Amino acid sequence: MKTVRITPFNKPVTATIAIPGSKSYTNRALLLAALTKGTVTINNPLVSDDTHAMIACLRELGIHFAFKDDMLAPEDIARQPGSLIVTSDISAIREGEYHLNANLSGTAIRFVLALSAIVPGIKIIRGRGRLNERPIAHLVESLEQLGARIEYVDKHGYPPVKVLSSHLESGVVKIKGTVSSQFLSAILMIAPLIGELRIDIVGNQISKPYIDMTIDAMRSFGVSVENDGYKHYFVPAGQAYRATEHTVEGDFSSAAYFFAIAALTRSTLTLTNLNPKTYQADIRFLKILEDMGNEVTYGEHSITITGKGVKAVSVDMQDCPDQAQTLSVLAAFADGTTTIRGVQSLRVKETERVAAIETELKKMGIRAESTQDTLTVYGGKPKPARIDTYGDHRMAMAFAVAAAKLPGMEIVDPDVVTKTFPRFWKSLALAGAPFSISYEHPNIILIGMRGGGKTTVGRLLAQKLNKELIDIDDLIEEREGMKIAETVQKRGWEYFRDRESEIVSEVGKQKDTIISTGGGVIERPENVAVLKENGILIFLNAPADILAERIEHDPGRPALTNAASTREEIETVLAERKKLYEAAADEIVMDTNLTLEQKTEEVLERLERRGIVEK
C-alpha cells in the first residue's frame, strides 16, 4: 500500500496552476463524437481512469480513437494531450457479443448503457467493485419504456446488465428527477438517433447544472433541446450531430481543491483553463468560499482566489455535492458549526461518502454528525492523522486540502486521484506543497509498446536487484500451451485480452516483483488499476520508427491492425495508446538511442530517487 505525505505551505503563497479538462465534458464529448458521422477532433480532453473507461468501452464496440502527437518536451510529456481524434462512429459497430467494462466510472456505465440500446449486438455491461453496487434500475426501466430489452446478469436492479435490443422507439419517457441526473443525460444524448422524444420528469430535478452541461454539449455538436423548467425536455426529430471539432473546458471539480487550499492557507492562487461562464456545478463552490470570507476575481479564461481564511457556514449542496467533502474539511478548521444539506446522493458514490467523512474527521479530533440528507461539522483545532481514502478519489483530494495546512498528514492510496485528476499531486507540488510517497515492497512494472525493451530490461532489473521477474506474455503462452500469435489466430483478440486481465489480477497481488507487461495491457483501465495498487509503473517510451525497426523481422508477433507495413502499424497503435501509457505511468523513460543496459540504469536511477532501491 502506498501513502503520500505532503509538506504544507510554510507561509501564504502566490502561484498559477493549469487545470485539466473537465471529466464530465470529456465523457459527454466522447459519446457525442461516437454519434457523429465523420471525423471529430476533441481538444483538451482529460485522460483519467474515468475517461479511459469510456474510451475503452467505445473502442471495444469498434469506435476508433487516436491521440494527436503534440511533440512535447520530455520533461513535460505527461501533461494532458492537445487533442483526441475520433475517426469512426456507431455505424462501424457490427453484430456480435461485446463485453464492456466501465471500471469505476458511473458516468461511463450509464452513458454506455443508453448507447448500447441503439447499436447492434449483444452488449454485456459491467463495472468494477462498488460500481456494481450502485443502482441502475431506473435507467433500465426508462430505456424499456422506449422498447429496449435488457436483462440483469446477477442482482436485479444493479450491474452487470445484458442489452439484447438495438433499436428504440420515439415517443415519451418518464424519468424520476430525484435519482442520478446521469440517467437523464444518457437518454438525452442518444435522442437524436431515436427520433422525436419527450422526457417528463417525475418529482423534482436534482443536479440541474449537470443537465445544463449535457444540453450545452449537445448544442455544441449541433443538436437543440427544449428545456421546460426542468419538468419536461423535448428533442425535435430530424436532428443529427454535426461537429468537426470540440474543445473541452477546464474542470471546476478539480479546480475546487485549489480554491479551498487558497482559502485555508490564505494564499493567492490563479487557476487557468477555466470558463467563468461555465455550466459546471462546482463553480458554485466559489460562492461558498466567498461566504466564508474569501475574495474571487474572474478573468477571461482564469479565476484568482485570494484566501482570507474560513468561517462556519450553512449551505445546501444538492446541486454540487461533489465538493461536500472539501467543504467538510474546511469546516474542521472554522470556528463554529457548519451545516451542509443536500448530501443524500453522496451515500451511493464510490464509497458511502458521508460515513467516510465522519470517520476520517474523527481521526483528526473533529466531531461530525449526519442525518440522511445533512452533515454537520463542529469546527475546532484539527490534528494530523493517517487518512484512509476508501478507493475514492474525492476523499484523497479533499483531505489533501487539510494537508496543505497541517503538518504530519498522511493519505493512504494516493493513486485513487487518477480517476479524475492524474496530475493532482504534481499540481499540488507546483503550488508549493511538495510530497513524498512511501511504498511497502512495491512491484516494479514495465509498460510500453512492442520493441520498447520491457522483457530485456525486466530481466536485467531482476538480476541487478535480485528480484523475481514475471513476464505476463510468457505466462499466457505457458497456460495456453501456444504462442500468443497462435492464440490470437485461433481464439481472437478478445479471448487473449480476457486471459491477460485474469493474469494481471493475479500478479498484481505480488509484492517486490519485477513485472513485464504486454503492450496492450493499458487498454483496459481495470488492468491499470490493479497494477497500480501495489506497483510503480514505468513507461519505456520510444518513437514509432525505432520501435518498428526493432520488431520488423519478428514473425512471432500477431498483427495488431491491417496496416501494410510494420512502421504504419506501430504509428497507428502508438497514436491510440501513447497518452494512456503516459497517464498510467509513474515514471517515463524516453529512449531514442539508449542501449538496453543504459535504459536499465535509467530505470534504476528513477527508482533510487523515489527511495525504492539503492543502486
For the stretch 159-193, pLDDT in tens is 999 999 999 999 999 999 988 899 999 999 999 99
> Quick one: average pLDDT of 257-273?
97
Determine which of 281-285, 375-379, 454-458, 561-565 has the lowest per-residue pLDDT on average. Answer: 561-565
pLDDT digit string, tens, across residues 195-223: 999 999 999 998 899 999 999 999 999 99
Determine which of 217-221, 361-365, 569-573, 611-615 has the lowest per-residue pLDDT on average. Answer: 611-615
| pTM greater than 0.85 | yes
How far is C-alpha 614 from the geometric centre of its chain's CA atoms?
A: 33
pLDDT digit string, tens, across residues 90-148: 999 999 999 999 988 999 999 999 999 999 999 999 998 889 999 999 999 999 999 99
Whether residue 160 has a cis bond before it, omega within 30° of 0:
yes
Look up residue 77 and give its DSSP letter: T
pLDDT, position 565: 81
List domains and CATH numbers for the chain.
3-19+250-438 (3.65.10.10), 23-247 (3.65.10.10), 443-609 (3.40.50.300)
CA distance 519 to 573: 10
End-to-end CA distance of the chain: give it in Å, rounded. 23
> Quick one: average pLDDT of 375-381?
96
Q: Is 591 a catalytic residue?
A: no
Mean pLDDT (the chain) is 92
CA distance 378 to 399: 16
Catalytic residue selected from 49, 89, 322, 415:
322
> Quick one: average pLDDT of 533-540?
93
Long-range contacts of 424-430 (CB under 8 A, 24+ apart): 424/254, 424/257, 424/396, 424/397, 424/400, 425/4, 425/400, 427/17, 427/18, 427/258, 428/6, 428/261, 428/400, 428/404, 430/15, 430/17
pLDDT class of 72 with cuts at 50, 70, 90: very low
pLDDT digit string, tens, across residues 515-532: 999 999 998 888 998 999
pLDDT class of 77 with cuts at 50, 70, 90: very low
pLDDT above 90: residue 375? yes
- Among 312, 426, 452, 427, which Cα is nearest to 379's? 312
